[in-house]
């Protein structure tokens, strides 16, 4: 990833800030073709405040990136190998998944001092299936994830209550390119439980569990590799989702490489 960031060449008009705040998604991610067409590509998304008003970096490039996504699993051999590894396949098989496919992959930096907050959300808001309960995230800690540097927090049992909000594509030719239906619930801070994990550990994330992570105000980064899989057997992938398979990259089966 160090080599990829060193060699990245992102046009100034595509230097997109990544945020999970709803209003900023509509203003930045969802409004930009750079984001909505990234499902079959490798693209770079940045933290707030890392560019001047001309789009030039004001911090070192390696400290500017929020995440890289969303097709590392398809185009970078190391990430492809990890994603399809026998141990990952073994997890899916033990969970009874018959024909899981890979939806997207990301490398998340959680930069020291500025790593942005990820607000409370459910992955099924963005990766919707019918029926629900067919999507799972695998979240690999490449460094220790602690309460101080922005580990995950979950509301236990929240995966049993469905979802109240969806991010959807708007009709072709309209603006913005995505919108939200429904609204995010208000969550009780006291219900969240931290999930620190040591380097090398993996967290399995149910598609409907409510989770978040705080801004990283520490001096230590919190790098992770994460990807989402879907049980495709007897499952309908919503055509309204921002992420869609393409002719260049259909969702690849997890059990083959």
In a domain, residue 146? The reply is yes
Angle subtended at Cα 197 by Cα 224 and Cα 100, rounded to the nearest 5 degrees? 60
Model confidence over 5-21: pLDDT tens digits? 999 988 776 776 665 54
Residue 33 lies in a domain: no
Give the CATH number, domain containing residue 86: 2.60.120.620
More confident residue, 204 or 63: 204
Domain that holds residue 176: 70-237
Instruction: For residue 88, tell me if it sits in a domain.
Output: yes
Question: Per the structure, how many domains does the chain have?
Answer: 1
Cβ neighbours of residue 23 closer than 8 Å, sequence gap 6 or more: none
Q: Of 225, 224, 221, 245, nearest to 82 (Cα)?
A: 225
What percent of the chain is predicted at pLDDT more than 90? 76
State the SS3 of 17-53.
ECCCCHHHHHHHHCCCHHHHCCCCCEEEEECCCCECC
Residue 142 lies in a domain: yes
Distance CA 37, CA 34 (A): 6
More confident residue, 29 or 251: 251
How far apart (Å, rounded) are the C-alpha atoms in residues 146 and 152?
Answer: 8
Considering the domain boundaries, does residue 203 fall inside one? yes
Look at residue 153 and tell me if it is in a domain: yes
Inside any domain, residue 30: no
Percent of the chain whose predicted confidence (pLDDT) is above 70: 93
Query: 116-175, pLDDT tens digit by residue?
Result: 999 999 999 999 999 999 999 999 999 999 999 999 999 999 999 999 999 999 998 888
Residue with tokens 């083959």: 256
Using one digit for the tens of pLDDT, what is the confidence trace for 66-86?
A: 999 999 999 999 999 999 999
């Amino acid at each position: 990833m160090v080599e990829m960031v060193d060699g990245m060449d992102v046009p100034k008009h595509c230097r997109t800030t990544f945020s999970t705040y709803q209003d900023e998604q509509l203003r930045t991610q969802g409004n930009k073709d750079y984001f909505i067409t990234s499902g079959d590509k490798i693209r770079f998304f940045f933290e707030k405040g890392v560019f001047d008003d001309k789009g030039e970096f004001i911090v070192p490039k390696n400290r500017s990136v929020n995440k890289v996504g969303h097709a590392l699993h398809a185009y970078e051999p190391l990430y492809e190998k990890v994603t399809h590894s026998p141990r990952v396949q073994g997890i899916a098989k033990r969970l009874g998944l018959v024909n899981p496919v890979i939806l997207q992959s990301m490398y998340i930096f959680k930069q020291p001092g500025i790593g942005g907050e990820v607000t409370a959300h459910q992955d099924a808001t963005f990766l919707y299936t019918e029926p629900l309960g067919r999507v799972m995230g695998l979240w690999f800690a490449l460094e220790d994830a602690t309460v101080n540097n922005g580990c995950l927090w979950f509301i236990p049992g929240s995966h049993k209550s469905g979802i109240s909000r969806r991010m959807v594509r708007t009709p072709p030719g309209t603006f913005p390119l995505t919108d939200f239906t429904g609204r995010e619930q208000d969550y009780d801070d006291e219900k969240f439980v931290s999930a620190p994990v040591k380097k090398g550990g993996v967290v399995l994330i149910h598609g409907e569990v409510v989770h978040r992570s705080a801004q990283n105000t520490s001096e230590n980064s919190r790098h992770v590799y994460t990807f989402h899989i879907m049980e495709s057997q007897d499952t309908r992938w919503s055509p309204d989702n921002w992420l869609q398979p393409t002719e260049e990259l259909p969702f690849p089966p997890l059990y083959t490489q």
